[in-house]
Amino acid sequence: MGYSIAEKIIKEHIVSGEMIKGTDIGLKIDQTLTQDATGTMAYLEFEAMGVPRVKTERSVAYIDHNTLQTGFENADDHRFIQTVCKKHGIYFSRPGNGICHQVHLERFSKPGKTLIGSDSHTPTGGGIGMLSIGAGGLDVAVAMGGGAYYITMPNIVKVELLGELKPWVSAKDIILKVLEIMSVKGGVGKIIEYAGEGVKTLSVPQRATITNMGAELGATTSIFPSDETTREFLKAQGREEDYVELKADDDAVYDEHIVINLSELEPLAACPHSPDNIKPIAELQGQKIDQVCIGSCTNSSYADLMTVAHILKGKTVHPDVSLSIAPGSKQVLTMLSENGALADMIAAGARILESACGPCIGMGQSPNSAGISLRTFNRNFLGRSGTKDGQIFLVSPETAAASALSGVFTDPTTLGVGYKVEMPEKFLINDNMIIEPADEKDMDSIKVLRGPNIKEFPASSPMEDKISATCSLKVEDNITTDHIMPAGAKILPLRSNIPAISQHCFTVCDTEFPNRAKTLGSSIIVGGANYGQGSSREHAALAPLYLGVKAVLVKSFARIHRANLINAGILPLEFLSESDYDKISLFDELELPNVKEEILNGDTVTIVNKTTGETITAKCELTQRQKDIAICGGLLNYTKINS
């Protein structure tokens, strides 16, 4: 039996377990990346592990999220990360150099290698044939220290692309189609592998748009073959030597097979408030809009922005629309400025933002009251834009630019003759914003600079024999990490201060939660299906930990968040029978009388609802390693004990 691309990379990197679907495997990690909003925690954790130098082939820290410096906090955090990097062997991408995933694709990604990143959109690297997975900061810290990264051996889904996109239809429309087919839960426990004749028609950045937003499927990752197009891209980035060919064996076996005919696709939008709420633009055509934002790690490549500039050239943004554009990297921005495309955007009235995440994470550009905002981003969760009533639609750069001019939803296929950007033979390469780490012999002389906002992460204690806790919150299905630990300009600067940020935990759903949980002392959160979808932020586990949450009991979990809970020492419990969800209410007194023994010896936990007198059973399916982590009270304690 042959292997798929993902299986080939896994086979080369497996250091524990066997490639049996559904079982735990440990992978050797070649590269890591962090961004600043998760990075401070990851580096505090790395320091706590006491490993002097990173043991990966390449580790890079990016500053791209917290770039709106309204106080000392973000700038202090940047300095902390910069000095940690210098000391411990990590490359540092300075603010202004661009969004982590875009820059990593351009400058460091390698087909056939493994990458984990403390950001859920790390699968962007799948566009170049790299096995790239989003993880919590602590997992990244462990990988930097040379430890393996553990995942459940996923099922492999083959998405076969046939034909070729019609003019003005975009890679974004392909992934929106996949989201329509599979939903935001459809990728959990799976790797999405692209194949078929249509692959050849897509450039590396287009492929990266698709693998990037595969995060919204809940997938472990997504991956494309590495072929002649990949070689050309690497050559144009001055890195042809990093090329290796990667393709699936003809007799590879897949768990699912989806076929998409590219020539039949039309421009699509993900409507509020979920990336899988898909409608054709033609159906929305003519509706008035208020704002357009172009950028983010999904759609801010050179080709994307050249297309936008072409559409805007010689025209003016509609008077009722605010258009902002954030090019994905310094490389993209410099090339646009040198070839005149930037001038075309500015002349049309675009508000040019720095190369960073910006509005995608609510760092500015929040829409007006109940404003309709078209964004080329990947997430439109409630409140993420910075306003609760903003109506966010996720669209392609083509749809975004056409609509910015007309002031209404506009199907770009109505623009007439198509436009195809030629990929440059040579990208403009200037790595002067990437700081190399100091030599190992000099590391002792480097002082790590810490600002007053940097607080220790919360301590967790080893598991007790029994847990007595009150239900401090009950929430519904599809709770995102943006509900659990909101981002945005006000809250993000507190990412290195768990006591302070925990005051915002779940406030999107219930403003009383932080104080209530603190007062209760020891509590349990109850939730629905796909709990914790979205971001990799481990703050969505660390803040509840700080507030005294001992377990989270839900219908089902999203992958990264479940791993983060285990790493933090919080028990992830799932209802054995979904109807048991109705048997617990807010403030019910719960007892897990035998929890430690049950975890050690099996995969269910008994929960007695002392308020109603009922007893229910919850699943807690942990591997032996996860059980050991849970008993120690989290991965950091476990790593200290075992190293």
Binding region for ligand SF4 (CB under 6 A): 65, 99, 119, 121, 296-297, 357, 360-361, 377-378
Does residue 553 interact with ligand MIC by CB under 6 A?
no
Residue 234 host element (H or E): helix 228-236
Q: Which pair of tokens denotes residue 324?
A: 């902002």
Q: Could you tell which of ligand MIC, ligand SF4, none binds residue 38, using a CB distance below 5 to 8 A set by kind?
A: ligand MIC
Least distance CB 65 / ligand SF4 (angstroms):
6
State which residue, 433 or 467, has the beta carbon closest to ligand SF4: 433
By CB under 6 A, the count of residues binding ligand MIC is: 13
* CA–CA gap between residue 172 and residue 262 (Å, rounded): 12
State which residue, 487 or 571, has the beta carbon closest to ligand MIC: 487
C-beta atoms surrounding 287 within 10 Å: 12
For 367, 372, 385, the CA distances from 409, given in Å and listed in that order, are 16, 10, 19
Least distance CB 514 / ligand MIC (angstroms):
18
Least distance CB 507 / ligand MIC (angstroms):
16
Least distance CB 297 / ligand SF4 (angstroms):
3
Contact criterion met (CB below 8 Å) for 394 and 275: yes
Contact criterion met (CB below 8 Å) for 114 and 134: no
Contacts of 205 (CB under 8 A, 6+ apart): 105, 127, 171, 233, 301, 302, 303, 304
Q: 162 - beta bridge partners?
A: 261
Interacting span for ligand MIC (CB under 6 A) from 52-60, 118-126, 312-320, 414-422: 118-126
Of 377, 326, 325, which Cα lies nearest the Cα of 355? 326
* CA–CA gap between residue 362 and residue 367 (Å, rounded): 10
Q: Tell the burial category of 416 from Cβ atoms under 10 Å away from its Cβ (0-12, 13-18, 19+).
A: exposed
State which residue, 78 or 537, has the beta carbon closest to ligand MIC: 537
Does residue 361 interact with ligand MIC by CB under 6 A?
yes
State which residue, 61 or 99, has the beta carbon closest to ligand SF4: 99
Least distance CB 439 / ligand SF4 (angstroms):
31
DSSP class per residue in 248-265: --TTB--SEEEEEEGGG-
Considering only residues 222, 478, 535, 639, which one is a binding residue for ligand MIC as defined by CB under 6 A?
535
State which residue, 114 or 481, has the beta carbon closest to ligand MIC: 481
State which residue, 179 or 360, has the beta carbon closest to ligand SF4: 360
Find the distance separating the first CA and the last CA of the chain, reported in whole Å: 38
Least distance CB 305 / ligand SF4 (angstroms):
14
State which residue, 215 or 246, has the beta carbon closest to ligand MIC: 215
Contacts of 116 (CB under 8 A, 6+ apart): 29, 32, 33, 122, 132, 133, 134, 135, 139, 140, 143, 149
Least distance CB 416 / ligand MIC (angstroms):
35
* CA–CA gap between residue 62 and residue 95 (Å, rounded): 7
DSSP class per residue in 414-461: GG-S---PPPPSS-----TTEEPPPPGGGGGGPPPP--TT--PPPP--
State which residue, 121 or 550, has the beta carbon closest to ligand MIC: 121
Residue list 34-53, contact with ligand MIC (CB under 6 A): 37-38
Q: Which pair of tokens denotes residue 521?
A: 């002392």
Least distance CB 196 / ligand MIC (angstroms):
28
State which residue, 86 or 537, has the beta carbon closest to ligand MIC: 537
Does residue 561 interact with ligand MIC by CB under 6 A?
no
Least distance CB 504 / ligand MIC (angstroms):
13
State which residue, 65 or 88, has the beta carbon closest to ligand MIC: 65
Site string for ligand MIC, 384-413 (x = CB under 6 A): ------------------------------
Q: Could you tell which of ligand MIC, ligand SF4, none binds residue 193, using a CB distance below 5 to 8 A set by kind?
A: none
Least distance CB 351 / ligand SF4 (angstroms):
17
State which residue, 210 or 336, has the beta carbon closest to ligand MIC: 210
Q: Could you tell which of ligand SF4, ligand MIC, none binds residue 496, using a CB distance below 5 to 8 A set by kind?
A: none
Considering only residues 67, 331, 536, 564, which one is a binding residue for ligand MIC as defined by CB under 6 A?
536
Least distance CB 539 / ligand MIC (angstroms):
7
Residue list 120-139, contact with ligand MIC (CB under 6 A): 120-121, 134
* CA–CA gap between residue 147 and residue 141 (Å, rounded): 9
Rounded to the nearest 5°, which phi and psi values hold at 373? -120, 125
Q: What is the largest CA-CA distance in the chain?
A: 72
Q: Could you tell which of ligand MIC, ligand SF4, none binds residue 537, using a CB distance below 5 to 8 A set by kind?
A: ligand MIC
Contact criterion met (CB below 8 Å) for 423 and 203: yes
Least distance CB 101 / ligand MIC (angstroms):
9
Contact criterion met (CB below 8 Å) for 112 and 129: yes
Q: Which pair of tokens denotes residue 487?
A: 């981002």
Residue list 300-359, contact with ligand MIC (CB under 6 A): none
Q: Could you tell which of ligand SF4, ligand MIC, none binds residue 536, using a CB distance below 5 to 8 A set by kind?
A: ligand MIC
Whether the CA torsion 413, 416, 417, 422 is positive or negative: it is negative
Considering only residues 487, 541, 616, 622, which one is a binding residue for ligand MIC as defined by CB under 6 A?
487
State which residue, 296 or 301, has the beta carbon closest to ligand SF4: 296
E strands in 315-441: 322-325, 351-352, 372-375, 391-394, 434-435
State which residue, 17 or 534, has the beta carbon closest to ligand SF4: 534
Binding site residues, ligand MIC, CB under 6 A: 37-38, 65, 119-121, 134, 361, 487, 534-537
